[in-house]
Amino acid sequence: MSEQKPTPGLGGERYLPYAERTGGESLVYFTRDLSAQGLQRIYDRVKEGITGKVAIKLHTGEAHGPNIIPSPWVESLVKAQLPSATIVETNTYYEGDRYTTQQHRETLKVNGWTFCPVDILDEDGTVAYPVKGGKWFTEMHMGKNLSNYDSLVVLTHFKGHAQGGFGGSAKNIGIGCADGRIGKAMIHTTPGSDDMWDIAKEEFMERMMESAKAVVDHFGKNICFVNVMRNMSVSCDCEGTAAAPVVTPNVGILASLDILAVDQACVDLVYAMKEEDHKDLVQRMESRHGLRQLTYMKELGMGNDRYRLIDLDHGDAAITAQEAVKDVVPFQHTH
């Protein structure tokens, strides 16, 4: 595997405190209201560029996955604000419940994604989007049908991830818009390797972010990002019912027009929690070098890692990450 030296001091296992960041600030909206109403209220603040034919990129999850964004929340958002939108997904790189389009459609039904059209973007092949300023790619293969949409709502369940450390907006589109056979292989596997997951740590984060950049650049101003910090297992939704039990407290919903700012803010909120509340998720992020996602997005010019956190629950007051999580309660398993 080719070795690229990471930027000194910015290895993906190291958390960069806010005070050490430089550059501009973006707006990130925040509500503690984890409900269909909370989702609608926060989407309202970032929807200005969402016009024309609208795609909603979600991780719809493996069959019966317990931690995905509840489908009734999305249904109410679609009915109230995005009546002609389409949920978009791509087939998986690994063999499972979403490997072929036919399997994928069955799984969508099982998980309740039946209230609006769902477009499997790579059902009819791929399209190559340019990657500007990348170190690993000049282009990335996306599901072909992505080009049929004018706007993209990136609606993400923020959680841990086995390979990425964490999955936020950037992973949702970086992996989730890449097609299941070519694009995802470009990100995950060194050509000729017999281990399909051999690319890891910094190189994996960088490849994934370059893919995300291709999507962000394609949609320009017609994209927004909403991250739901709920049921945050250290496992991704791709692990379905096998996901590790959730131990991190639920936090709320964040949204921004800046992909880096929204993912950085979610990571900051995790780090701002008490040690006993965040240790599992922090360990997952640092052990996988997942924080490289953030520093590399900044190097690629994808946004700001500084932001103003706007508290929708308290009259749009600007708050700190510590204030946002000060009242979180230990995770309660409800069945």
Structure tokens at 271: 């780090």
CA distance 136 to 96: 28
Residue 17 within any structural domain of the chain = no
Range of the domain at 72: 27-325
Residue 21 within any structural domain of the chain = no
What pTM was computed for the model? 0.96
Predicted pLDDT at 150? 98
Residue 15 within any structural domain of the chain = no
Phi and psi at residue 172, in whole multiples of 5°? -55, -40
CA distance 300 to 293: 11
Residue 275 within any structural domain of the chain = yes
Residue labelled with tokens 């995770």: 331
Counting the structural domains of the chain, the total is 1
Residue 235 within any structural domain of the chain = yes
CB atoms within 10 A of CB 244: 14
Residue 167 within any structural domain of the chain = yes
Q: Consecutive 10-residue runs of the chain (335 residues): their mean pLDDT?
A: 48 96 98 98 98 98 95 98 98 96 98 98 98 98 98 98 97 98 98 96 98 98 98 92 93 99 98 97 98 98 98 98 96 68
Predicted pLDDT at 2? 44
Predicted pLDDT at 1? 42
Strands (E), the chain: 25-31, 54-57, 86-89, 118-120, 126-130, 139-143, 151-157, 159-161, 165-167, 223-229, 252-256, 306-311, 317-319
Residue 22 within any structural domain of the chain = no
Residue 331 within any structural domain of the chain = no
Predicted pLDDT at 237? 87
